[in-house]
Amino acid sequence: MSSGSQYLTGDPSAIAEFIEKFDTFLFDCDGVLWSGSQSFEGTAETLEMLRNKGKRLVFVSNNSTKSREEYKKKFDSMNINCNVEEIFGSSYSAAIYISRKLRLSPPKNKVYVLGVAGIETELDSESIPHVGGTDESLRREMTGDDYEKIASGEMLDPDVGIVLTGLDFHVNYLKISLGMAYLRRGAMFLATNIDTTLPSNKTLFPGAGATSAPLIAASGKEPLALGKPSQAMMDAIEGKFKLDRKRTCMVGDRLNTDIQFGIEGGLGGTLLVLTGVSTKEDFLGGGKEVVPMAYVDKLADLASK
């Protein structure tokens, strides 16, 4: 029984008709263009085919580990043509939300980061002060002295007004305890994204939602996530790229981020690619919450003759 999602693979005329509905394609990255450091076959050619048809491409990743510049290097390393201005990641989304929406008055606008360099670089690009993150002095066991200095506040920065979590490859008890202390003192809780899994090397690893889970559990608070499916991110993208939402299609591998992002954003279309997190069983057969307009086995199917 059809779920209302059109299977395009192997149907060149249906593919051509689908592509012609849109002027802009928002592309997810992990699980669509690549898996870890390995790009899927035909990715570069498919994106060039769309550019040659006059389509505009925007790369919208929830992966907070890289800044726009670092993503540009990853595209270059895979010989995938891309302009840094086309990249819009969750760390950038969080940084502009903090600087242009929240606009906390200094000095209380400092951010405690549970994440890695991509977040720090994008906060720097918006001149937002930050602590934690890749600070090597925090990558250690917690000591008795730490308990005392956290409890007394001596180890806390009085200017921290926000705790921001992302995918953190160096989570530990000390860093979670510092995040908890800031939240208990009233800091705002934000996340670049809360994807539970990271598709890489054609399997799944813990995602940002998994590395921030200990702080969510300990603090009893849920962060405001600023990556997909957040419509704050969609609004920022619309503003920057002057989108015509009805002529825009979101292409992704994950139903509860990419496809939900496109549907809730009122985009003209959504396309699921089956090379990442979500499977056909997750949206076919009726009664499913999030159903893409169409789906393909892999991105390169869009360029197949």
| Residues 6 or more apart whose Cβ sits within 8 Å of residue 176 | 114, 214, 215, 218
Residue from the set 15, 29, 96, 274 that interacts with ligand DEZ by CB under 6 A = 29
Please give the angle made by the CA atoms of 179, 28 and 15, to the nearest 5 degrees: 160
The two three-digit tokens of residue 238, written as one number? 């619309």
**Residue 301 contact, options Mg ion, ligand DEZ, none, Cβ 5-8 Å cut-off depending on partner type:** none
- Judged by beta carbon distances under 5 to 8 A according to partner kind, the member of ligand DEZ, Mg ion, none in contact with residue 167 is ligand DEZ
Could you tell me which residues are beta bridge partners of residue 294? 6, 271
In angstroms, give the least distance from the CB of 131 to ligand DEZ. 22
> Does residue number 35 form part of the binding site for ligand DEZ (CB under 6 A)?
no
SS3 286: coil
**Is position 282 an interface residue for Mg ion (rule: CB under 5 A)?**
no
Report the candidate in 257, 303, 250 with the shortest Cα–Cα distance to residue 278: 257
CB of 168 to ligand DEZ, least distance (A): 10
Q: Is residue 248 involved in binding ligand DEZ (CB under 6 A)?
A: no
CA distances from 29 to 43, 111, 223, 275, 303 (A): 11, 26, 23, 11, 18
Residue numbers 177-236 binding ligand DEZ by CB under 6 A? 193, 195, 197-198, 207-208
Tokens of 218: 């300990």
Distance CA 58, CA 241 (A): 9
Give the CA distances from residue 224 to residues 114, 163, 177, 179, in Å, rounded to whole numbers and listed in that order.
14, 10, 20, 15
The Cα-based distances of 137 to 66, 111, 166, 170 in angstroms read: 22, 17, 19, 12
Counting contacts by CB under 5 A, is residue 195 touching Mg ion? no
CB of 119 to ligand DEZ, least distance (A): 11
Nearer Cβ to ligand DEZ (161/252): 252
Does 253 interact with Mg ion (rule: CB under 5 A)? Answer: yes
Residue 26's SS3 state is: strand
Which segments are annotated as binding site for substrate? 61-63, 228
By the 10 Å C-beta count (0-12 exposed, 13-18 middle, 19+ buried), 26 is classed as: buried
Report the partner that residue 275 touches, choosing among ligand DEZ, Mg ion, none (CB closer than 5 to 8 A by kind).
Answer: none
Stretch that binds ligand DEZ, among 3-11, 58-66, 121-129, 297-305 (CB under 6 A): 58-66
Which three-class secondary structure state does DSSP give residue 164?
A: strand
Establish whether the linkage from the previous residue to 292 is cis, with ω within 30° of 0: no
**Contact call for residue 61 and ligand DEZ (CB under 6 A):** yes
Out of 19, 22, 27, 28, name the contact with Mg ion by CB under 5 A: 28
Residue 30 appears among annotated catalytic residues? yes
Q: Taking contact as CB under 6 A, which single stretch among the options 11-19, 27-35, 232-240, 260-268 is the one that binds ligand DEZ? A: 27-35
The footprint of ligand DEZ on this chain (CB under 6 A) covers a number of residues equal to: 15
Minimum Å gap between C-beta 84 and ligand DEZ is 16
Regarding 31 and contact with Mg ion (CB under 5 A), the answer is yes
Is position 93 an interface residue for ligand DEZ (rule: CB under 6 A)?
no
Q: How far apart are CA 268 and CA 260, in angstroms?
A: 13
Strand (E) or helix (H) holding 91: helix 90-96
Nearest approach, Cβ of residue 276 and Mg ion (Å): 5
| Active-site amino acid positions | 28, 30
Instruction: Write out the residues near Mg ion by the rule CB under 5 A.
Output: 28, 30-31, 253, 276
Instruction: Write out the residues near ligand DEZ by the rule CB under 6 A.
Output: 28-31, 61-64, 167, 193, 195, 197-198, 207-208
